[in-house]
């Protein structure tokens, strides 16, 4: 018997039939003796429908009212799933964020969870009930409805699992686990049996959109074992857990992440005085432009070059700000490039193994790809290259680091 928190996303509860399938799965866990809390998102398409309605009446919707509006999506799902569970003769009860209660700060549309009261849910579980909790929503200190932002249901699930000290938090989605890279880019991408929180964080922030990054942070912080599985087929999925559980024989590189939507800004010939990086990046950040990679090389001739990347949608804004600053700093020029991408190797194994970076650079050189920028962290090496080489780079690295699916690992799914 275990206490399990399961989270089902929009496509997993997208129709009455899919909601009934979720009820079937929950029943199998209850029948084997588990205590189950289910966290659900809005039915797929519902959030977009509600956003469209708001745009039809308002050119600049107020965040408080948007939260009142959008939180109805999950409210509909908890009611329907609870009804479907009751139809299976299970005792079940729905919980709004305010009923749990999930206390957040007042940042409408992007609220952060401050505290969760697990008492009512634990009482229900101990009475043999299934608790069905609305994801994505909470309540602030004044009783206003708040939302955690898109994808926030993952965060709700992990936070509830932490509050209840659950044995596992299972995230059901439309993929059957975390892959070594995007299977749409590399045919022979392989599902990972296990990955660490740190690796998952690096993968998520780099574009593997399986899990919301805040949820992984939360799970890591509270050491909640997290499992990503498919709600459409059976299988063990991928377990995300702390480093200690990691198989010693694990490969050095766990996966290859990439991000296509980047753009690069270079400020050339900046007089090399203390605080240059802050003088340039401070105003960019103040304008709410998120900066990803930052590279500054050692100065030569009393000047230096500072390069950073931003999301492609923000390039014009970042360029305008940077050109202003560049003038004030007497920099030589600002050059931008809107067609770059970032490719990263991720793996906790890198910590203790030298030579991975050079193997990466050689692999790319062998297929004729020029590297524009390099950054490294303990468990990640990222390179920025021309966008058109992205698929080529990912495939070459996937093979070079032994990640290609040989059929051997998949056998555990069939056994």
Per CB under 8 A, residues contacting its own copies are 16-17, 19-20, 23, 50, 53-54, 56-62, 64-66, 68-69, 71-72, 75-76, 78-84, 86-87, 93-94, 96, 98-99, 143, 145
**In terms of CB distance, is 30 or 78 closer to its own copies?**
78
E strand or H helix that includes residue 315:
helix 315-328
Compare residues 70 and 284 and give the one whose CB is closer to its own copies.
70
CA separation (Å) from 256 to 210, 293, 414?
14, 17, 25
Is 168:157 a contact under the CB 8 Å cutoff?
no
Residue closer to its own copies (CB basis): 23 or 195:
23
Q: What are phi and psi of 226, to 5 degrees?
A: -120, 135
Residue 105 Cβ, how far from its own copies at the closest point, in Å? Answer: 18
In angstroms, give the least distance from the CB of 93 to its own copies.
8
Q: Which is nearer to its own copies, 26 or 306 (CB)?
A: 26
φ, ψ at 329 (rounded to 5°):
-90, 0
Structure tokens at 259: 């991000």
Nearest approach, Cβ of residue 87 and its own copies (Å): 5
Query: Between 89 and 414, whose beta carbon lies closer to its own copies?
Result: 89
Cβ proximity to its own copies: between 66 and 125 the closer is: 66
Residue 288 DSSP class: T
- DSSP type of residue 274: T
Shortest distance, position 241 Cβ to its own copies, whole Å: 34
**Structural tokens at position 325:** 């600053």
**Residues in contact with 335: Cβ distance below 8 Å, sequence separation at least 6, in sequence order:** 265, 266, 268
Contact between 50 and 116 under an 8 Å Cβ cutoff? The reply is no
Least distance between its own copies and beta carbon 52 (Å): 9
| Helical residues (DSSP H) of 272-314, grouped into ranges | 276-286
In whole angstroms, how close is the CB of 171 to its own copies at the nearest point?
Answer: 22
């Amino acid at each position: 018997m275990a206490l399990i928190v399961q989270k089902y996303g929009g496509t997993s509860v997208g129709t009455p039939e899919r909601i009934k399938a979720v009820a079937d799965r929950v029943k199998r866990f209850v029948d084997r003796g588990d205590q189950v809390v289910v966290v659900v998102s809005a039915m797929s398409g519902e959030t977009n429908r509600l956003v469209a309605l708001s745009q039809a009446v308002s050119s600049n919707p107020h965040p408080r009212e948007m939260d009142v509006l959008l939180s109805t999506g999950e409210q509909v799902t908890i009611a329907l799933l609870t009804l479907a569970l009751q139809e299976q003769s299970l005792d079940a009860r729905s919980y709004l964020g305010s009923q749990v209660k999930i206390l957040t700060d007042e940042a409408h549309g992007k609220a952060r969870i401050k505290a969760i009261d697990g008492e009512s849910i634990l009482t229900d579980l101990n009475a043999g009930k299934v608790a069905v909790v609305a994801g994505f929503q909470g309540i602030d200190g004044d009783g206003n409805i708040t939302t955690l932002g898109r994808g926030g249901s993952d965060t709700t699930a992990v936070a509830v699992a932490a509050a209840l000290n659950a044995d596992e938090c299972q995230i059901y989605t439309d993929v059957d686990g975390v892959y070594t890279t995007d299977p749409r880019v590399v045919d022979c991408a392989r599902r990972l049996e296990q990955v660490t929180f740190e690796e998952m964080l690096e993968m998520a922030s780099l574009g593997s959109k399986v899990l919301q990054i805040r949820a992984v942070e939360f799970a890591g912080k509270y050491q909640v074992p997290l499992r990503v599985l498919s709600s459409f087929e059976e299988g063990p999925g991928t377990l995300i857990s702390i480093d200690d559980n990691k198989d010693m024989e694990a490969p050095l590189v766990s996966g290859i992440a990439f991000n296509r939507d980047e753009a690069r800004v270079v400020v050339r010939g900046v007089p090399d005085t203390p605080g240059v990086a802050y003088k340039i990046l401070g105003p960019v950040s103040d304008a709410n432009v998120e900066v990803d990679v930052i590279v500054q090389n050692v100065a030569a001739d009393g000047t230096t070059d500072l390069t950073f990347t931003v999301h492609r949608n923000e390039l014009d804004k970042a360029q305008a700000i940077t050109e202003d600053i560049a003038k004030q700093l007497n920099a030589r020029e600002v050059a931008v490039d809107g067609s770059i991408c970032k490719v990263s190797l991720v793996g906790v194994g890198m910590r203790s193994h030298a030579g991975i970076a050079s193997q990466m650079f050689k692999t790319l050189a062998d297929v004729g790809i020029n590297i524009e920028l390099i950054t490294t962290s303990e468990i990640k090496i990222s390179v920025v290259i021309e966008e058109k080489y992205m698929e080529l780079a990912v495939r070459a690295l996937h093979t070079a680091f032994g990640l290609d699916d040989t059929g051997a690992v998949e056998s555990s799914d069939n056994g």
